[in-house]
Chain A
Amino acid sequence: MGRGYLIRKVLHAFATLFFVVAFNFVLFRVMPGDPISLLTRSERLTPADVAELQAEYGLDQPLPAQFVNYLGDTLSGNFGVSLRSGLPVSTLVGERVWPTFLLVGIGTVLATVLGVLIGIKGGWNRGSRFDTRTLYGSMVLYSMPEGWLGMLLLITFAGTLGWFPAGGFDTGEETGFAAVIDIANHLFLPVLTLTLGYIGEYAIIMRSSLLDTVNEDYITTARAKGVPDRLVRRRHAVPNAFLPTFTLIFLSFGYVLGGAIVIEVVFSWPGLGQLTYDAINQLDYPVIQAIFLLTSAMVIAFNLAADLTYGLLDPRVRHA
């Protein structure tokens, strides 16, 4: 891979990240609703108290000065304290990473693996019963609102049938291996919702790129050579068809830490999505800022990774 390509991509990523950092700052200062009055609405402070609080949170300085402070803090990993609870934002965010990673990580892996497999099988046997059914199924699932699907599963499996818990990460009362099973039981419905919600996307894209590939000359050649159908698919069609899906998968992993906000709220899952939802409701700017920054950084990082590895996979891009 050319060094120029590498350097260009990395610089581009950093520039994007800086833009996001700056935009993050401006966006939240421009939003209506003053965080100080929200923080203190139940307290009715004197103007002197308000001034003191503003100084404390650095909100009394002119915007450019606030921005410089913000940059410095961000670079040193200090994301301030929550306006609501007064606890450090890095702590609040840090303790939510694992539940979200677990939920969205597993869900995304399942959705990609299963979706791709379904897409391959459907695309290769286009028009077959399997293909028609899975295509329509994928479209229905993909267009279904996640929150609604989640509620439906919650009411059916946790409510009416009572097979799974109605929410939460665990009961907090088990230890050892029983704790793992406990978490697995709590994880089942949210992961199911997430997987069903995204499986359609991968299936449809994999299927359509496979359909494009099928008409290429080299496929015809392989068939003419007498290569068994399964091998044509596995060695020639799929690897080439896989590239667009590959990009999509990488980008999806970038969103993993953004958390599936809707699903986390439906299932009371204590991850970043839930934290985002609460923070937005409470106008807890430092928390919102930190999460958005984290999510953006992840997306940019995975975008970069996708660009770089794409070059590894597809020689045409590398030598462009």
Chain B
Amino acid sequence: MRRTFGNAALAGVLLLLGLAPVALAQTGEETAPTEDEVVLRVGTILDLSNDNPWGVVGGYDWGVATTQYDMLLQFSDEDLSPAPGLAEGCEPNEDRTKWTCMLREGLKWSDGTPLTSEDVAFTFRFAIDNSISVYRSYFPFNPTFETPDDRTLVWKTEQPTFAPDLPPWVYIVPEHVWKEYDGADKKEIKSAPNTPSVASGPFTLTEWERGQGWTMERNPYFWGPEPVVDRIEFRVFDNQEAMVQALKNGEIDIADALQPSVFRTLEGEEDIATQKVISDWWLNLAFNFGGQSKDADPHPALHDRTVRKAIAMAIDKQEIVDKVYLGLANPGDTIVREASTYWHLDIPADQEYPYDPDAANAMLDEAGYLDTDGDGVREDPESGRPFELLMPASDETTGAVEAGQLIVGYLDAIGMQVELQPSSDGKMDDYWGSGDFDMYIWYWSGDPDPNYQLWVFASGQCGSWSDGCYSNPDYDDLYYAQTSIFDREERREVVFEAQEFIYRDLPGVVLAYPSWLEAYRTDRFTGWTPVPGENGYLLPTYNYNSLLTVQPVAGAAEASSPGLPAWIWIAGVAVIGIVVWRVATRGRRERDLEA
């Protein structure tokens, strides 16, 4: 035991030193950028969970797929209306049961293989035959697909539809790669490896290190204008603060998915610009009308529109925007998201329900919902049931729980006692399925086209997409009417009517339209194309066009990773080594002296 400790310490240090070559071996064959390559470095909080277009789940999956794959038609930069993608256009016949799409000339996949209408038809058939549920809604009325020649796709349906013109948010994949998965087990399809990928977009996924990040490199066969950027490095950060520091010290060029609090700290920083993206989701307070299961027993008074209106008027949406989102949101009104600028109805301020708790109290008093036992909580006169409401709120939806806390206070002021129940999305699903709640706070997102969002409120969506099994035949008429109007402007009139109807009938309350937040270094890259419109996403979300226009600022420094240079490390390790050696051998030296 005499020299054991010193030797143990020495061994420890040698072990540390010995790890260096092992670390070297572990780094593998990562490709390093060449001197002249233009590299864009993106920081994000959202990780990539699945690299294959059939398995897109969440996180950054959609962003990667949108960057590397094309769709039949694209979402336009200005307002997400259909624009030429792989197809130059799609023309319908008279009764809109047959659409003919013309693909561009000379399309190729990133491995050089020609891209033909067969690939498009294959993709659509694959989605339908293999029941890829995330794309299901884009193929109504049992469509069939024909390819009379390499550039022509014919889409036929049993009933009139505008499905091809939505455009369908389906990524076109190469038949020669995915053929072998057709008909396979769904688990196998979704876990099929797709890095490196074969795609048609401007960049393809070439490397993926789970938990760390991924790399996308320029596709030499891309049909569109050649991007200046040669490669994009994505880095995943587990917390906001680290990502912000990385942006500030130049490790990354652009940061994605920022939270309001850190976003505010970046405003006014030198060389950093912030982008408050127009909202494509909304925070939703949904009322429950019951009928999901035998556990569904929501408060009966919620069926009374007066009660719902009183609740809506008791909520201070502006305060939610200010306190929960630090002003980085807009107060909500209608159900079609703001980002669908063509379809979103903005109700004029003087026609909205005002924030007026006194009026709300008066309304409830007049309707007979009085507090008969003086405990501060109103009761329903018919059932005698007090207004004690259970309100789950998704803790995975930014701001939902905080807004819920404010709402508890607002409703307390009108004599309703609300129990807030923060829940994971898994638990929210349980509540939704059983109907064992009175109202809940969650979110809605969706497509640029309003059809899906409007559909959610139709009768018959109970147990499918509906929040609280709301059902109103007058609304259904409006919804189905707009599905068969093919003139855009005419259809918009009905879509506006539908939104107004929902606003007045209150199956829920649209609380807020929170902005998505991005920030980038102005001294590195310029020429971003925001989509849709000026306040749009800088990073690929609806299309990849921003990556086609972005380029380095003249004379810009390249992103670099700070750190101590090699010589300091070597010197430090040497010093430590020497110290340990001396301590360890001191015993021997002393014994030599004693001898």
Q: Chain A: residues with CB nearer than 8 A to chain B?
A: 32-35, 37-38, 40-46, 49, 56, 81, 84-88, 92, 95-96, 98, 102, 106, 109, 113, 117, 151, 154-155, 158-159, 162-186, 188, 230-231, 234-235, 238-239, 242, 264-268, 270-271, 274-275, 277-278, 281, 283
- For the A-B complex with A188-B563, A239-B1 known, give 9 more contacts whose Cβ atoms are closer than 8 Å: A32-B430, A56-B187, A154-B245, A159-B248, A170-B27, A184-B564, A186-B563, A278-B211, A283-B426
A163 to B561 Cα, complex, angstroms: 9
Partner of A109, one of B12, B209, B233: B12
Do residues B19 and A102 form an inter-chain contact, with CB atoms below 8 A? yes
Partner of B429, one of A37, A168, A177, A188: A37
Task: State how many angstroms separate the Cβ of A212 from the closest Cβ of chain B.
Answer: 18
Q: Which of B4, B249, B561 has the most CB of A within 10 A?
A: B561
Instruction: State the majority secondary structure of interface residues on A.
Output: helix
With A182-B563, A283-B424 known to touch, is A109 a contact of B191 (CB < 8 Å)?
no
A-B contact pairs, 23 of them (CB 8 A): A37-B433, A41-B425, A44-B464, A49-B131, A84-B49, A98-B26, A109-B12, A162-B249, A166-B246, A172-B209, A172-B215, A175-B30, A180-B24, A182-B563, A183-B23, A234-B2, A234-B587, A266-B242, A268-B239, A270-B212, A275-B211, A277-B238, A278-B47
Q: Chain B: residues with CB nearer than 8 A to chain A?
A: 1-2, 4-5, 9, 12, 15-16, 19-21, 23-24, 26-27, 30, 32-33, 47, 49-50, 55, 57-58, 131, 133-134, 186-187, 190-191, 207, 209-213, 215, 233, 235-239, 241-243, 245-246, 248-251, 396, 424-430, 433, 464-465, 561-566, 569, 587, 590
Q: Which residues of B contact A174 (CB under 8 A)?
A: 27, 32
Q: Which residues of A contact B58 (CB under 8 A)?
A: 42
Do residues B561 and A171 form an inter-chain contact, with CB atoms below 8 A? yes
A270 to B467 Cα, complex, angstroms: 37
Do residues B242 and A166 form an inter-chain contact, with CB atoms below 8 A? yes
Do residues B238 and A265 form an inter-chain contact, with CB atoms below 8 A? yes
Top 7 A-B pairs, shortest CB-CB distance: A185-B563, A270-B211, A33-B426, A38-B426, A86-B191, A37-B429, A166-B246
A96 to B26 Cα, complex, angstroms: 12
Task: State how many angstroms separate the Cβ of A242 from the closest Cβ of chain B.
Answer: 8
Task: State how many angstroms separate the Cβ of A47 from the closest Cβ of chain B.
Answer: 8
With A42-B57, A85-B50, A165-B251 known to touch, is A181 a contact of B238 (CB < 8 Å)?
no
The residue of chain A having its C-beta at the shortest distance from the C-beta of B188 within the complex is A86
Q: Which residues of B contact A164 (CB under 8 A)?
A: 562-564
A162 to B560 Cα, complex, angstroms: 11
Do residues B245 and A185 form an inter-chain contact, with CB atoms below 8 A? no
A176 to B32 Cα, complex, angstroms: 11
Do residues B20 and A180 form an inter-chain contact, with CB atoms below 8 A? yes
Task: State how many angstroms separate the Cβ of B497 from the closest Cβ of chain A.
Answer: 26
Do residues B563 and A81 form an inter-chain contact, with CB atoms below 8 A? no
Do residues A85 and B213 form an inter-chain contact, with CB atoms below 8 A? no
Task: State how many angstroms separate the Cβ of A132 from the closest Cβ of chain B.
Answer: 23
Do residues A33 and B424 form an inter-chain contact, with CB atoms below 8 A? yes
Q: Which residues of B contact A181 (CB under 8 A)?
A: 563, 565-566, 569
Task: State how many angstroms separate the Cβ of B565 from the closest Cβ of chain A.
Answer: 8
Partner of A81, one of B187, B211, B430: B187
Do residues B236 and A179 form an inter-chain contact, with CB atoms below 8 A? no
Q: Which residues of B contact A151 (CB under 8 A)?
A: 241
Do residues A268 and B237 form an inter-chain contact, with CB atoms below 8 A? yes
The residue of chain A having its C-beta at the shortest distance from the C-beta of B594 within the complex is A228
Q: Which residues of B contact A176 (CB under 8 A)?
A: 24
Task: State how many angstroms separate the Cβ of B445 from the closest Cβ of chain A.
Answer: 9
A37 to B212 Cα, complex, angstroms: 28
Q: Which residues of B contact A270 (CB under 8 A)?
A: 209-212
With A44-B465, A166-B245, A270-B212 known to touch, is A113 a contact of B27 (CB < 8 Å)?
no
A92 to B211 Cα, complex, angstroms: 10
Task: State how many angstroms separate the Cβ of A67 from the closest Cβ of chain B.
Answer: 22
Do residues A268 and B427 form an inter-chain contact, with CB atoms below 8 A? no
Partner of A172, one of B12, B30, B133: B30
With A42-B134, A172-B30 known to touch, is A158 a contact of B187 (CB < 8 Å)?
no
Do residues A274 and B233 form an inter-chain contact, with CB atoms below 8 A? no
Q: Which residues of B contact A98 (CB under 8 A)?
A: 26
With A37-B433, A42-B57, A165-B562 known to touch, is A158 a contact of B236 (CB < 8 Å)?
no
Q: Which residues of A contact B251 (CB under 8 A)?
A: 165-166
Do residues B564 and A185 form an inter-chain contact, with CB atoms below 8 A? yes
Q: Which residues of A contact B233 (CB under 8 A)?
A: 171-173
Task: State how many angstroms separate the Cβ of B34 from the closest Cβ of chain A.
Answer: 11
Q: Which residues of B contact A165 (CB under 8 A)?
A: 246, 251, 561-563
Q: Which of B30, B212, B246 has the most CB of A within 10 A?
A: B212
A250 to B430 Cα, complex, angstroms: 43
Partner of B33, one of A85, A173, A177, A231: A173
Do residues A85 and B133 form an inter-chain contact, with CB atoms below 8 A? no
